[in-house]
Structure 1
Amino acid sequence: MNDLFTPYELKDLKLKNRVVMPPMCQYSVTDKDGIATDWHYNHYVSRAVGGTGLIIIEMTDVDPDGRITDYDLGIWSNEHIAGLARIVDACHAYGAKVGIQIAHAGRKAEDAAVPVSSSPIPFDDKSKTPRELTTAEVKEMVNKFQAGVRRAVQAGFDVIELHGAHGYLIHQFHSPLTNRRTDEYGQDLTLFGKEVIAAAKREMPEGMPLIMRISAQEYVEGGYGIKESLAIGAAYKEAGADIFHISAGGEGAIAAAGRPGTHAAYQVPLARAFKQELAVPVIAVGRLDEAALANAVIGNEDADLIAVGRGMLRNPYWTLEAGVQLGKNPGLPKQYAFGFPRISN
């Protein structure tokens, strides 16, 4: 039976354990240039020292106006490569593998003078009305994603994640709430996402997996549910997505259709559905901060990998602590060994 500290392999990706640090925006770019800073370096490398198997760098945007804020990371220029590569190399030195989440915020780009989207529908009454991308601009946006992935590969990342969740641009195209187009991208709501996947795969080594993050449930009136998201996922799987990172929400005012559960592991049933129905590896996320619970999700075969967000913000050494609690050997750095109870095995 697998557990949280069973190694995991998919294609050329080989992880020492099943613990993932999910992408979490730091809003810490200092000069609004999208270049990673010492904060990003220390933030991510400390989690590598802390034993994390896979670290996924926060939402990193393919266009200056595709950022949530001007303080987000970018990958629209070759100038971004060096700062990211510095982080990757240091994390590798401590045994972690590193991914990056490539994205565009679309209508949720707060600092863009005029945000863009699949259709001219604002997020809420306090948000700017986005400009609908022309068909030609959508195709150019695919090229921007491809160029971002090319730079990520040059920076040495082990895996690429495309952000198709939380109401950002790819999500805006595959959601009927926000895609009211009449062109080919409105006739097939998954076309943009499929084209981005295909473009990314053209830049990635054959053995490098591609992760697609998806909101499996929209908590908004008229939003899609698990049945519809499984159909979206099936299209993305056929296009080349290798792993699905299963989240939820992000599109529309969440209170309109009731809030999601706030209990532990509330999104695991969504991850389980993707794993079982689509026969794909999945990353589960959402209030999985307790080591025993995270371990049970793996043992019960509800997911293949566990993303720990808030818990890892609180404690860079979450993975080491979890290993000790579970009686596993998490690979304690010798410098820290006296700070932890002895492990019998």
Structure 2
Amino acid sequence: MTETLQQPYTGPSAWTRAQMEADKSWIYTLSPAEVAEIRAAVAVARGTGKPLEAITREDFPLATLPRRLDALGEELENGRGFEMWRGLPVDEWSIEERSVAYWGLGLYLGTAVVQNARGELFGHVRDTTAGADPQTNANTRFYHTNRAAPFHVDGADIVGLMCVRTAKAGGASLVVSSTSIYNALLRDHPDVIPLLYQPLWFDHRGERNAVTGKPYWVTSICGWTHGKLSMMYLRNFIESAQRYEGAPPLTEGHRRLLDLIDHYAESPELCLSMAFLPGDIQWLNNHVTLHSRTEFTDWEEEDKKRWLMRLWLNRHERNRFTETYGYYGIAPDAR
């Protein structure tokens, strides 16, 4: 267990919707020169003949963009905790070129980690389940459906989502500061704060932990260590873990806490909605943000359906991230 934060968190990650709507510096538009630099790096990487996941940073040479990517890493780690990059010409690229460009940029931010039991390092967010409901099927993942996703974190320091195609309607991206949610709980419902630091069971939802072999892992929703606050929130994973023998039953207090987190995550005070455009990349620090999306209606034509590419990245400075967040935002066995 970590210490308990009893005062409002005052770091730059504790933002509100109004602040982000008033200051759009979180949107970074790539210049024509930067796009040309990425195109050249894609050509070099493809010229190596390596499969995507074997491409290294040295295979994807960038001249000026590493400084901007370093600034992005600093913003994610010690700033607001998210940023949107805009302007990649995905409509002009083949699937291979899109993938190499995205993978190559990710190499400058961190190391890719597996996203599921199949060992995938490069993921795709598409509706492939024909209307399956993850709320009633504990082994279904929201990113394979068109359903509205609950607010959650992913199993790495950073998640990147690159938009290739948008839906016919809906599918807006929602982002909220988890440190601001904490501040709202502390302000309005201080009695629930101790529950944030109690261990809970989280369901792997049809997959098993590579270390323990168990279908669940145990951690707390929040951790406070080294002056940093981190939140790990996956309500449906917490609730579906109740199916396992030996799981400590959720109390009324726990369910009230989960309701309150959802309430503040969805609130007009904190919830920031942003439209995804083709060529956008949304970068998020999972320790200090929660993300979600609205339900969407997809196109009938297969080649027009909504499609995001996804990376899960651990920072290169892993020791610093471990020391900073104490692994509480992202459990080491959650992947």
State the TM bucket, normalised to the shorter chain: under 0.3
Structure number with greater CO (CA < 8 Å, separation at least 6) is: 2
More strand by share: 2
TM-score, length-scaled by structure 2: 0.27
Query: Normalising by structure 1, what TM-score?
Result: 0.26
More helix by share: 1
